[in-house]
Amino acid sequence: MVKISPSVLTADFLELSESIKRLEEAGVDMLHLDVMDGIFVPNISFGVPVISSIKKHTALPCDVHLMIDKPHRYLKEFAAVSDYLGFHYEAGSDVAETLKEIRNLGCKSCLTIKPCTAPEEIFEYLPLCDMVLVMSVEPGFGGQKFMPEALGKLSALKKEIVDRKLNVLLEVDGGINAETAPLAIKAGADVLVAGNYIFSADDMGARVKEIKAL
């Protein structure tokens, strides 16, 4: 069954604790936490203190997505509050060494690619990954429309993972809703990041169950 990782970026932070409780009751699999520095992406979100506070109030795994420049500089700090720790292929760190260090720090490693990056560019790094994240929007802001070209990237990565018999989850982030989720699943996605579609709903639990049933 597909896993759901709601992105808290579009949540009401004054009601985040209650929202997380409702998501837990709905059966989500993890929480997606977007860390932005205003340099790698043109927006600023939150950092270690916020994630640390969230972890105190939930048993859900934290799926931390670093949208920051030279992420290797901050691995130790974020690893302390992460279960999955991901960074961008394009962010200026040594990819292989950063993936190895994430695992050495006790986290599951995730490598992320932007819409401009071909999936073939990261094939060599797949054995060092526990998860790969394909961005189906430009990173930096929530509420964007799903880019259909992400489907081909998902399919190419899934084929490579299966052909090489690797144990790597395939995640997709951006514009996921009732229409795009089935397309992403068909293309090979194992984990769906959904933010605005879930947090804008009057009944978040019903939205989660709707996606899970696809």
Structure tokens at 91: 């962010």
29 is catalytic: no
Please give the Cα distance from 71 to 41 (Å, whole number). Answer: 13
Please give the Cα distance from 115 to 29 (Å, whole number). Answer: 25
Residue 194 near residue 7 (C-beta atoms within 8 A): yes
Please give the Cα distance from 35 to 41 (Å, whole number). Answer: 10
Structure tokens at 158: 């899934």
**Predicted TM-score of the model (pTM):** 0.95
The predicted-structure confidence for 101-150, as pLDDT tens digits, reads as follows 999 999 999 999 999 999 999 999 999 999 999 999 999 876 679 999 99
27: left (phi over 0), alpha (psi -120 to 50) or beta: left
Residue 92: how many other CB atoms lie within 10 Å: 16
Domain boundaries, the chain: 3-212
- Residues of the chain with confidence (pLDDT) below 70: 142-143
Nearest 5°: the CA angle 130, 5, 62 is: 65
69 is catalytic: no
Among residues 29, 63, 130, 173, the one annotated as catalytic is 173
Residue 156 near residue 120 (C-beta atoms within 8 A): yes
Neighbour order of strands in the sheet with 131-135: 3-6, 191-194, 169-173, 131-135, 108-113, 84-88, 62-67, 31-36
Predicted confidence at residue 10, as pLDDT, reads 84
Among residues 34, 37, 130, 190, the one annotated as catalytic is 34
Domain with residues 3-212, CATH architecture: Alpha-Beta Barrel (3.20)
Predicted confidence at residue 142, as pLDDT, reads 67
Q: Among residues of the chain, what percentage have pLDDT more than 90? A: 81
